[in-house]
Copies of this chain bind each other. A is one copy, B any other.
Amino acid sequence: MTRCQRRRTSVSGAFMLPRLLCLLCFAVISLAEENTEMVNVATERKAEESHRQDSANLLIFIILLTLTILTIWLFKHRRFRFLHETGLAMIYGLFVGIILRFGVHLPQDLNDITLTCAMNSSPTTILVNVSGRFYEYSLKGEVRDSKGHDVPNAEMLRKVTFDPEVFFNILLPPIIFHAGYSLKRRHFFRNLGSILSYAFVGTVTSCFVTGLVMYGCVVFLKVIGQLGGDFFFTDCLFFGAIVSATDPVTVLAIFNELKVDVDLYALLFGESVLNDAVAIVLSSSIVAYQPEGDNRHTFDGSALLKSLGVFLGVFSGSFAMGAATGVMTALVTKFTKLRDFPLLETALFFLMSWSTFLLAEACGFTGVVAVLFCGITQAHYTYNNLSAESKSRSKQLFELLDFLAENFIFSYMGLTLFSFQHHVFNPLFIIGAFLAIFLGRAANIYPLSFLLNLGRKNKIASNFQHVMMFSGLRGAMTFALSIRDTATYARQMMFSTTLLIVFFTVWVCGGGTTPMLSLMHIRVGVDTDQDNSVTPDGMTQKSTKHESAWPFRLWYTFDHNYLKPFLTHSGPPLTSTLPACCGPIARCLTSSIVSFPFYAHGMPTPSTSQAGLCSLARTSDDPLDRELVFGGTRLVLPTDDPSDPLTSFPPPPPSPPLSDPLRHRV
């Protein structure tokens, strides 16, 4: 109420221009009007006050982010590399958390009313009958100590606490989408087998190793009587799953800046991106493990199968959904002339990408995973159909969203160390957790690298393995998964421990990346395109295809011959790759602006004989068209670093595999 009044009192001495008009009108008022409605006024005021409070809370974060940006700039300007922006955001968050917790003292809101009702569980919405009027209330969450707060400023702290679903619905999707959209696909695909192994087998291994170690730790705690509540084996596995999600941001920002060896970069980035997806699905499968009957913590074979089914089903469903939306966007952008209106095109691109998330969530799949694969599909297909302006627009838009969301999450993390009111810090559990994540990470990297090296032509050197081991930072995904549910004692302890793990890995491992790289003699300053041996005629050679195992080669060919021409304006015309019987369909699906091959600078060459029907109808003045086929045999897995469409040259037909003389290992 005190704040409500401020507006009115601050503007007392006033200027009276339209006063005459007002007097005229208000004279009429005195004639009519009865039946006071002070209740409405009270409700309005309350809504206003709550809105003002929300604005102030959000403002805290905006100011935090602004400060972070300015400090990042200072750091970048002075080339400090020991602290990344995310680490910085956390530090600022910590400070604000301390201030809110110990510095500010606000009067308690006396409006809290405790109602008692006889129910077994809490409904999501309740209707309250307040002297004859019905008001709807929605569930915000459980409150531990309702009135006898031991925490000062509990009211205030509760208000700066975001609904955890905000992370999943608003902040994570742009981060994950951007990761997929900015994947350097050539290096990613070259190491696809290894990346998939690390991401799937490695993450699952890491999850179970961590879970087992934690279970040992929990049993020990129970024996010595240090455990204040239930902590089941499924909780341990859940913990293993959430801390197995490594974060690509911090380390890779440094890698990018230092231009670290591209294969190491691809391995780490690919693993981090995909294991987020694996961890999220894994954790939901563990939650889904519910044996029949009352006792859910016994072993049950059918429940286990169901959990496994959930894992595979959710993962493949999310993958399919992401890919399907990406493909749909590609088709829409290919077959409409939306590119004449870049604003519409970008908006459509944005909305379709967002709808993937919502669609997957609404169907019970995992939106974040869907969004990741949607990002990869969009980069691989749709990106080629966009107008030049939309390409840069979409890239910049998602870059900005990613940046803001990431820094927001990290500063919130810092803040939450002090603002969260149900922390359970158990020193032994924390020590156990650090040990467990170390062992879990080691069990992921070293055995798998050994196995992979048996099959790889260019081995993953031991210094690479050490860097991968060291660079397993935990970040936004781990945090989001752990804050999602903090209802039970076990989850609260996990959350507190996870926070500390994130802090430690971001500050210590993140800050130690540069020294670690030089300690391990990792090659830095590598030009991304350097390992394409340059032939005398200035064209680059790619050995991507022939370095891969046969299932991937099969996929490349299929993608190159059918998917790319079908979904984009690039690739050989479908009329040449499809069997003759499909002629009419092929002609119909072949892009009207494809099939003139171009040299690097947009000069049309004499058409290859297979050129589509409509190919003579147009001349092209668009940079996109420079990305077209080269002699009908452009390699599929492309130059396409999406960040730089103008510098990508269509390569010549693939040459026989050759050991790349320029690639060296330290």
Decide if B19 touches A308 in the complex (CB within 8 Å). Answer: yes
Q: How far is the CA of A251 from the CA of B344 in the complex (A)?
A: 19
- Known contacts A130-B119, A297-B32, A343-B399; is A25 also within 8 Å of B237 by CB? yes
A70 at the interface (CB under 8 A from B): yes
Q: Which residues of B contact A51 (CB under 8 A)?
A: 165, 168-169, 361
Cβ-neighbour of A296 out of B41, B120, B204 (below 8 A): B41
Q: A10's closest neighbor in chain B, by CB?
A: B313
- Please, what's the 1-or-0 string for A274-311, where 1 marks a CB less than 8 Å from any CB in chain B? 00000000000001101000111111000011111111
Q: Which residues of B contact A211 (CB under 8 A)?
A: 25
Decide if A308 touches B30 in the complex (CB within 8 Å). Answer: no
Q: List A222-267 residues whose CB lies under 8 Å from chain B.
A: 230, 232-234, 237
Q: Which residues of B contact A133 (CB under 8 A)?
A: 122, 142
Cβ-neighbour of A117 out of B44, B129, B299, B487 (below 8 A): B129
Q: Which residues of B contact A11 (CB under 8 A)?
A: 309-310, 312-314, 317
Q: List A165-221 residues whose CB lies under 8 Å from chain B.
A: 165, 168-169, 201, 204-205, 208, 211-212, 215, 219
Listed A/B pairs (8) with beta-carbon separation below 8 Å? A14-B312, A19-B308, A46-B139, A50-B124, A51-B168, A69-B351, A114-B129, A121-B130
Q: Which residues of B contact A344 (CB under 8 A)?
A: 69, 72-73, 76
Q: List A131-186 residues whose CB lies under 8 Å from chain B.
A: 131, 133-144, 146, 158, 165, 168-169
Q: Which residues of B contact A131 (CB under 8 A)?
A: 118-120
Decide if B310 touches A77 in the complex (CB within 8 Å). Answer: no
Decide if A403 touches B343 in the complex (CB within 8 Å). Answer: yes
Q: How far is the CA of A233 from the CA of B39 in the complex (A)?
A: 18
Cβ-neighbour of A26 out of B8, B25, B54, B299 (below 8 A): B299
Decide if B137 touches A143 in the complex (CB within 8 Å). Answer: no
Decide if A36 touches B294 in the complex (CB within 8 Å). Answer: yes
- Known contacts A33-B298, A141-B135; is A397 also within 8 Å of B397 by CB? yes
Q: A299's closest neighbor in chain B, by CB?
A: B30
- Known contacts A121-B43, A137-B138; is A127 also within 8 Å of B111 by CB? no
Q: How far is the CA of A404 from the CA of B121 in the complex (A)?
A: 39
Decide if A123 touches B111 in the complex (CB within 8 Å). Answer: yes
A617 at the interface (CB under 8 A from B): no
Q: How far is the CA of A25 from the CA of B137 in the complex (A)?
A: 43
Decide if A40 touches B487 in the complex (CB within 8 Å). Answer: yes
Question: Which of A60-68, A423-431, A563-571, A647-655 forms part of the interface with chain B?
Answer: A60-68
Q: Which residues of B contact A127 (CB under 8 A)?
A: 112-115, 143, 146
Cβ-neighbour of A338 out of B73, B311, B338, B363 (below 8 A): B73
Q: List A1-28 residues whose CB lies under 8 Å from chain B.
A: 3-4, 6-8, 10-16, 18-19, 21-23, 25-28
Decide if A29 touches B337 in the complex (CB within 8 Å). Answer: no
Tally of chain A residues near chain B (CB < 8 A): 165
A553 at the interface (CB under 8 A from B): no
Q: A303's closest neighbor in chain B, by CB?
A: B26
Q: Which residues of B contact A27 (CB under 8 A)?
A: 299
Q: A393's closest neighbor in chain B, by CB?
A: B396
Cβ-neighbour of A134 out of B70, B128, B146, B294 (below 8 A): B146
Decide if A66 touches B123 in the complex (CB within 8 Å). Answer: no
Decide if A404 touches B22 in the complex (CB within 8 Å). Answer: no
A461 at the interface (CB under 8 A from B): no
Decide if A347 touches B69 in the complex (CB within 8 Å). Answer: yes
Chain A interface, >50% SS class:
helix
Question: Which of A352-360, A380-388, A528-536 forms part of the interface with chain B?
Answer: A352-360
Q: How far is the CA of A234 from the CA of B34 in the complex (A)?
A: 12
Decide if A347 touches B290 in the complex (CB within 8 Å). Answer: no
Q: Which residues of B contact A488 (CB under 8 A)?
A: 37, 40
Chain B nearest CB, measured from A272 CB (Å): 20
Q: Which residues of B contact A313 (CB under 8 A)?
A: 7, 10-11, 14
Decide if A65 touches B351 in the complex (CB within 8 Å). Answer: yes
Q: How far is the CA of A351 from the CA of B343 in the complex (A)?
A: 22
Q: Which residues of B contact A518 (CB under 8 A)?
A: none
Q: Which residues of B contact A609 (CB under 8 A)?
A: none
Decide if B115 touches A43 in the complex (CB within 8 Å). Answer: no
Q: Which residues of B contact A354 (CB under 8 A)?
A: 62
Q: A218's closest neighbor in chain B, by CB?
A: B32
Decide if A134 touches B129 in the complex (CB within 8 Å). Answer: no
Q: Which residues of B contact A469 (CB under 8 A)?
A: none
Minimum-distance CB pairs A-B, first 10: A11-B313, A33-B297, A137-B137, A30-B299, A7-B364, A14-B309, A55-B361, A111-B123, A56-B362, A59-B358
Q: How far is the CA of A288 from the CA of B337 in the complex (A)?
A: 52
Q: Which residues of B contact A115 (CB under 8 A)?
A: 115, 117, 126-129
A517 at the interface (CB under 8 A from B): no
Decide if A52 touches B10 in the complex (CB within 8 Å). Answer: no
Q: Which residues of B contact A352 (CB under 8 A)?
A: 66
Chain B nearest CB, measured from A414 CB (Å): 17
20 other A-B residue contacts (CB within 8 Å) besides A114-B129, A135-B140: A4-B364, A7-B310, A7-B314, A14-B311, A16-B305, A28-B212, A28-B215, A28-B233, A33-B233, A46-B123, A46-B139, A50-B124, A51-B165, A55-B358, A69-B348, A109-B125, A122-B133, A126-B128, A134-B142, A137-B139
